[in-house]
Structure 1
């Protein structure tokens, strides 16, 4: 059953101290199957991204800015899924999950920080590809190790104050009425629906922050790829064009998957919102996209495949 706080009857305004995450309890016959599926996907995410981190650290041929950011991105993916999936697996075992307001705020805080950091790192990776293709002679000078570390640090740190402000405002509100969250984690839209009274200020803040951390990075990535594609098309040989495009096609696919699902969930009109569809799209960008990422980067990147082959041969044979 879906319920909202600010639409609750005035006689039912008892302040809430915890939520109940409905998750997938509306399909009880699939609990075991979903547990096994999400556990397998979680293991794939941990294994795939851990392998990428290791080979980008130890293989000399991957000691470049592109793979430095890829290693950061893979570590981020491990943290990102670990905020939601372990809790989801535990709730599937017990059919539903009670979560306190504090635990909900903490989960949302880290989820938003890591999601925003992913937007920023994907933008930094797009800038790296832009410099490599559009200014190849200056690439070693521009993308020096100091700048790479500074960009990575900025990506990891920028989201913290932004989301500290948002969480403090959102959870200083009163939650009342029905305490059932028809979701599998404390995502922003279902939680805000349970706030009592007028939520205009919070919703305005959500759109402002989403514009800063999602729309602006997305536009910067589009501009970068516009210039990249323009430069690639001017290359004289078909082989050169194919090689240049192959260095950024993996990143472009990941950007499309992550930003596409996120924008659909958080920027579409409220009138088109469906709890079932929101859960599906949230599942897509919280679990499925992180599964695809290491697969995309490995299968579409010859250097990563060669380094991975050498690593596995060394440790398995």
Structure 2
């Protein structure tokens, strides 16, 4: 097919799950249930943190921000997917596609940065307990969050501009939302290698950088925990980090597979399945992981229900 300039295209075709028409209704039901659970679970977490003074700490303020980002995360993908599955409308405008791309890159990047800040927070709490309140105070938390939002805005703007100014050889997207790899796959051959190099560079900044920081933090945390004399003390310290570590593993195990691989082994089918886990299921599980594994959150839930 001859290269087609963006300005001559009325919109993209998101094939989504059109290759499995017999599963459209079950998929619609699945997405709807998951979206309701995500909104309800994360909204409850935010209200719980706001209403319970015992949770007005840096750790739980970061958790509240993560819950907000999770709501935004799924809201950039699921509403359009529900509409497409219900009405079998696969068309999306150019502006709609790149707006979705911008928002998706922003909230996905912010989720990774929040998990990184939370790892640093756990490091300070475990390894520097006497200086924790001085280092991780509310001012530090606000500054870190503001800095991360500025970074993700710049990253998303750069990524969106870079992708939207390319020449595409096709406008058929074998995916259910506008993501970077699937759009890069449509780029013409003479620019695809350059795009791939830029993609790996930005992926390294967005994914690999935070992963290294998180791993370094947990190496120091584990070393500090092993130095604790009593098994009860070690168990209590590990319990404060287990929820966060579970979310880190869920997010980055799927993200590394999706974005840090050669385009030559790209598979639309596998990519859709992995993206559902990473972008739909993980944000829904996060508040339940914290509720089930965090004693402070469970106690706050009991107090909240008792008062009601």
Give the TM-score normalised by structure 1. Answer: 0.93
Q: Is the 8 A contact 1:24 1:31 kept in 2?
A: yes
Flag the structure with higher helix content: 2
Residue 186 of structure 1: aligned partner:
178
Residue 106 of structure 1: aligned partner:
99
How is 1:57-206 mapped onto 2 (pairs within 5 angstroms)? 57-177=50-170, 179-196=171-188, 197-206=190-199
Q: Give the CA deviation at 1:271.
A: 3.2
Looking at structure 1, the residues matched to 80 and 124 of structure 2 have their Cα atoms a distance apart, in angstroms, of 40
Unmatched tracts of structure 2, length 5 or more: none
Give the TM-score normalised by structure 2. Answer: 0.96
SS of 2:91 mapped into structure 1: strand
Q: Is the 8 A contact 2:163 2:183 kept in 1?
A: no
Residue 287 of structure 2: aligned partner:
294
Unmatched tracts of structure 1, length 5 or more: 1-7
Is 1:18 aligned to residue 11 of structure 2? yes
> Which of structure 1's runs of 4+ aligned residues deviate more than 4 A?
12-15
Deviations 1:212-247 (A, max 9, x none): 111001100000000001100110000000000000
SS of 1:102 mapped into structure 2: helix
CA RMSD of aligned residues (A): 1.3
Q: Is the 8 A contact 1:48 1:294 kept in 2?
A: yes
Q: Give the CA deviation at 1:20.
A: 0.8
Q: Is the 8 A contact 1:49 1:77 kept in 2?
A: yes
Q: Is the 8 A contact 2:42 2:284 kept in 1?
A: no
Q: Is the 8 A contact 2:112 2:207 kept in 1?
A: yes
Q: Is the 8 A contact 2:4 2:167 kept in 1?
A: no
Q: Give the CA deviation at 1:82.
A: 0.3
Q: Is the 8 A contact 2:70 2:284 kept in 1?
A: no
Q: Is the 8 A contact 1:16 1:176 kept in 2?
A: no
Looking at structure 2, the residues matched to 130 and 49 of structure 1 have their Cα atoms a distance apart, in angstroms, of 25
Looking at structure 2, the residues matched to 308 and 287 of structure 1 have their Cα atoms a distance apart, in angstroms, of 25
Is 1:239 aligned to residue 232 of structure 2? yes
Q: Give the CA deviation at 1:272.
A: 2.6
Looking at structure 1, the residues matched to 142 and 52 of structure 2 have their Cα atoms a distance apart, in angstroms, of 19
Q: Give the CA deviation at 1:180.
A: 1.6
Deviations 1:82-133 (A, max 9, x none): 0000000000012242011111010000100111111111000000000000
Residue 309 of structure 1: aligned partner:
302
Looking at structure 1, the residues matched to 89 and 168 of structure 2 have their Cα atoms a distance apart, in angstroms, of 20
